[in-house]
Structure 1
Amino acid sequence: MAVYGIDLGTTYSCIASIDDVGRPTVLRNLEGTDTTPSVVYFESGDNVIVGATAKDTAVLDPDNVVSLIKRDMGREVPREIHGFNYNPEELSAFILLKLATDAQTVTGEVARDVVVTVPAYFGAAERDATRKAGRIAGLNVIDVISEPIAAAITYGVLNPESDRTILVYDLGGGTFDTTVIALRGGHIEVICTDGDHELGGADWDARLVEHLAEQFRAEHPDAGDPLDDKLTEQQLRRDAEEAKKALTSRTQHTVRVMHGGRVATLEVTRDVFEEITKDLLDRTVEITGRTMEVARSKGVTDYGDLVLVGGSTKMPAVAARLEAELGITPRLQDPDLAVAKGAALYAFEETFRRLLADGAREEAEEMASRAGLSAEQQRQIAARRIKTVASRGFGIVVLNRDTQAEEVIHLVHANDELPAGRSSDFFTVHDDQTTADVRVMEQAGAVESPEPSDNNEIATGSVRIPSGKKAGWPISVTFALDASGLLHVTAEEKETGERLDLEVEVGGMTEDDVEASRAALSRVQVS
């Protein structure tokens, strides 16, 4: 049984599996590279191209190219292309399908059972959207796990002899997380996490684009703004990313900007690049400090390693700044591929454990044999446990009887150990009320707040109230956040004890929508 781990990244994605000697291995795409740009190009309404070709085409046909779609996951942000509307789940499904199809071509085995990673700071809506994207792509999503956990699994496998607490600093193309993780006896326990899913390498690129455009305008003030032209802007974004990568190993790089019949040859130095992006790095350091404060409140003060993952951590300023701030020498942990490898290990181990739990020992042993695992390694896998925490707080909107103002009561709090759950009694406001609306809210900022404006509404539902009841009729609401970070909400009518299921659809797609999307996208050729 072949299972796979997928790092569904904001700017680049990759897929990995376990080879015949038990090692996680990234599978190269049909273009011969380990990573695939997370870019989708609609050549027509029924032909979609994903990857490097799509990224290159953004310069020529920007209106039909979609990138950075991961930042829209969990939100209703449709894109109209060639007369069709596509939501973020469907666009992500194209990327997942490209990865799975290429993996099948390489291995000769159907790539169907997968674990997909998400930023640790992704909430319930984003995680649910990711799972649905996999289903739209025709995949069986075994689980959705946080990227730092996947990186920690890779780290733990490579360093099996050492128990320690590590700080994972994960700066990818579009998201940032920092997570404190304890490795003990082969087990993995997340202590706390924090992050920003709209902060990543793409923001460093954007700063460089702005800088180059400003330099061009200064040299050719009569040529207009290059950012006003979509083709020039796309070329600038491509040049900025290449410059950023070049400045990882060089101290200066030359960019030629062409617009309005004029050409400017611009020198970009590493010092200037670091200066114009300093506030972005400052934000990551601030979030890291906040995470360490929470860890300190939980008794964690010493760290065995500061592990850097995510392609953007290769920028020299990152390691230098972190070492200066924290006094810990950072370790680059296979930054581009560690997450996919960890997801593959997790997919393998989780499938192996489930087979044993279901009594399918023969199947489990065959799976282990194909991976060349010893009896001791099988025992370790069967025994390994992973504990994680909630990335944010979740609650519902209530009406304060004294002030008549709406406020949010949180039932699950950020960094509660998962699975987490809590029940609480709430009461109707009016006599003869027939229904009670339940508005499910997710903490939006770094600090939990009762103000509805400081939270995001991620789902709604309603509970029927028996007729003729006075105000103050009780209803028990239960929140359960599972180990994958997916939220389940139920309610119980107190008088009869009858259990009521709240029909809560987290995110923008219902189950029927998922099936409809899967059927509709089957008409599209993806390459």
Structure 2
Amino acid sequence: MAVYGIDLGTTHSCIARIGDVGRPTVLRNMEGTDTTPSVVYFESADNVVVGAPAKDTAVLSPDLVVSLIKRDMGHEVTRELHGRDYSPEEISAFVLRKLVADAKATTGEDADDVVITVPAYFGAAERDATRKAGHIAGLNVIDIISEPVAAAITYGVLNPDQDRTILVYDLGGGTFDTTVITLRDGDIGVVCTDGDHELGGADWDARVVEHLAERFAEEHPDVGDPLEDPHTEQQLRHDAEEAKKALSLRTRHVVRVMHEGRVATVELTRDKFEEITKDLLDRTIEITGRTLATAAEKGVKDYDDLVLVGGSTKMPAVPQRLANELSLKPKLQDPDLAVAKGAALYAFEETYRQLLAKGETDKALDLASRAGLSEAEQERMASRQITTVASRAFGVIALDPVTEQEHVVHLVHANDALPRGKSREFGTVDEDQTIVKIIVVEQAGSAESTEVAHNNPIADGELKIPPGKPAGYPIEVTFALDTSGLLHVTAVEKETAEELTLDVRVGGMSEDDVQESRTDLAHVRVD
């Protein structure tokens, strides 16, 4: 059996598996590249194109091309294309189908069993949406793990005999995370994490787009705004990304901006690029500082390594700034591919452990043997432990009986160790109350807050109360956050043992909706 690790990225995605020598290998797509642009072109109602061809088509048909969909995961938004509304989960499912189809073309084996990575700062809603995207794509999602954890697994396997404390700085195309991780006797422990899932290389591109449009307007003030033309805007986005990559290798780059028959030749220097994007880099440094402060509160103050992950860390300003700020020499940890490789290692190890747990020792040994693992490597793999933390705080909305003001009571706090279970007793507000509405919320900002407006609702339900009960009648609410960061909530009325189980629903999609989407989209061809 083959298991795969998938880095489902905001701008690029890739898939990996364990090779014959027990090392992770990224599988190239049908276009011959390691990574696939996370871009979907809806050519027709029955055919979609994913990857580089879709990205190229964005200039010609911007209204039929979807990119950066990862930023919508966990939100109730849709895109209407060819008369049908598509959820973020469904669009992400097309990217996943492309990855696994290309993997099968390369290996000859079905890529059904997968581990998918998410940013560390993704909350329960976004993680659940990612899992559902996998199911819509027809995959068996073994687990959802954080990208820095995946990168740390890759690092730990390459350095198996070293105990280290590392800071992972993960700046991808659309998200940013910074995580403190310990490696002890092969075990991986997440100390704390922080981030912003709407900060990444795409924002650097956007600054370049604005700069190019401004320079064009200066030269041609009598012509319309280039950003109001969808075709010109898409071309500028393409040119901006190419400029960013070029300026990582040299100090100057020239872009020709063409709009309404006019041309402006814009020379962009690395210094200018770093100037117009400085506040973006500042934000990552601020978040990193918060992470280090949280780690210090937990007793971690000394670091052995600063590991850079994510394609955007190849911008020269990133390692330079980090070296100056932290007095650590940054290490580029295979920035584009480390996450997928780590996910493949985790998928392999988790499958191996599950086989042993089910008593299927022969299958486990066969799996390890085909991967060329020694007995020592098998023992290490069977015993490796990975511990992680909650990325956000989670709670319920409560009503103060005195002030009659709503506020949030958190049962799980950011950076609590996982798995985490916590129960708390609440009471009804009114006499003879027969229904209690339970609203589960997740921390929305960078800091925990009891203000309702500073939290996002992610689940709700109603619990029946027996008639004739006084105000303050007890209800017990239990939160269970598993190691994948997925939340399970129950509320119990103790007299009749009436129990309400709340599903954390994302984008309005229930499990029935997921199955319906899987069936409905199965006929769509993905190229």
- Shorter-chain TM-score: which interval? over 0.9
Q: TM-score, normalised by structure 2?
A: 0.99
| Equivalent position SS for 1:183 | strand
Indicate conservation of the 8 Å contact 2:461/2:500, yes or no: no
Alignment gaps of 5+ in structure 1: none
- Which aligned pairs between 1:453-464 and structure 2 lie closer than 5 A? 453-464=453-464
| Equivalent position SS for 1:516 | helix
Residue 433 of structure 1: CA displacement?
1.1
Residue 482 of structure 1: CA displacement?
0.2
CA-to-aligned-CA distance 1:463-503 (integer Å, 9 cap, x gap): 1111111111100000000000000001221234x151324
Q: Is 2:318 aligned against 1:318?
A: yes
In 2: Cα distance, 1:506 partner to 1:401 partner: 29
- Which aligned pairs between 1:464-479 and structure 2 lie closer than 5 A? 464-479=464-479
1:494 corresponds in structure 2 to 494
2:263 corresponds in structure 1 to 263
Indicate conservation of the 8 Å contact 1:38/1:95, yes or no: yes
| Equivalent position SS for 1:418 | coil
| Equivalent position SS for 1:181 | strand
1:343 corresponds in structure 2 to 343
Indicate conservation of the 8 Å contact 2:488/2:504, yes or no: no
In 1: Cα distance, 2:504 partner to 2:12 partner: 29
Q: Is 2:138 aligned against 1:155?
A: no
Indicate conservation of the 8 Å contact 1:323/1:329, yes or no: yes
Indicate conservation of the 8 Å contact 2:167/2:178, yes or no: yes
Q: Is 2:388 aligned against 1:403?
A: no
In 2: Cα distance, 1:301 partner to 1:471 partner: 49
1:230 corresponds in structure 2 to 230
In 2: Cα distance, 1:404 partner to 1:252 partner: 61
Identity %: 72
In 2: Cα distance, 1:506 partner to 1:161 partner: 42
2:96 corresponds in structure 1 to 96
1:77 corresponds in structure 2 to 77
Residue 505 of structure 1: CA displacement?
3.5
Q: Is 2:169 aligned against 1:166?
A: no
Indicate conservation of the 8 Å contact 1:124/1:506, yes or no: no
2:296 corresponds in structure 1 to 296
In 2: Cα distance, 1:99 partner to 1:120 partner: 22
Indicate conservation of the 8 Å contact 2:3/2:347, yes or no: yes
- Which aligned pairs between 1:214-253 and structure 2 lie closer than 5 A? 214-253=214-253
- Which aligned pairs between 1:129-148 and structure 2 lie closer than 5 A? 129-148=129-148
Letter in 2 for 1:439: I
Q: Is 2:277 aligned against 1:277?
A: yes
In 1: Cα distance, 2:89 partner to 2:99 partner: 15
CA-to-aligned-CA distance 1:94-130 (integer Å, 9 cap, x gap): 0000000000010000000000000000000000000
In 1: Cα distance, 2:459 partner to 2:216 partner: 47
Residue 504 of structure 1: CA displacement?
2.6
In 2: Cα distance, 1:458 partner to 1:175 partner: 21
In 2: Cα distance, 1:70 partner to 1:229 partner: 25
In 2: Cα distance, 1:236 partner to 1:106 partner: 34
- Which aligned pairs between 1:115-130 and structure 2 lie closer than 5 A? 115-130=115-130
In 2: Cα distance, 1:452 partner to 1:421 partner: 22
CA-to-aligned-CA distance 1:129-180 (integer Å, 9 cap, x gap): 0000000000000000000000000001111121010000000000000000
Indicate conservation of the 8 Å contact 1:463/1:502, yes or no: no
In 2: Cα distance, 1:499 partner to 1:327 partner: 57
1:13 corresponds in structure 2 to 13
Letter in 2 for 1:251: T
Letter in 2 for 1:2: A
1:374 corresponds in structure 2 to 374
In 2: Cα distance, 1:499 partner to 1:268 partner: 66
- Which aligned pairs between 1:435-450 and structure 2 lie closer than 5 A? 435-450=435-450
In 1: Cα distance, 2:202 partner to 2:401 partner: 46
In 2: Cα distance, 1:301 partner to 1:505 partner: 36
Letter in 1 for 2:500: D
| Equivalent position SS for 1:283 | helix
User: Larger deviation: 109-118 or 486-495?
Assistant: 486-495
1:38 corresponds in structure 2 to 38
* Pairwise CA RMSD: 0.7
Indicate conservation of the 8 Å contact 1:462/1:502, yes or no: no
Indicate conservation of the 8 Å contact 2:462/2:500, yes or no: no
Indicate conservation of the 8 Å contact 2:464/2:498, yes or no: no
Letter in 2 for 1:204: W
1:433 corresponds in structure 2 to 433
1:353 corresponds in structure 2 to 353
Q: TM-score, normalised by structure 1?
A: 0.99
Aligned length: 526
CA-to-aligned-CA distance 1:180-216 (integer Å, 9 cap, x gap): 0000000000000000000000000000000000000
| Equivalent position SS for 2:247 | helix
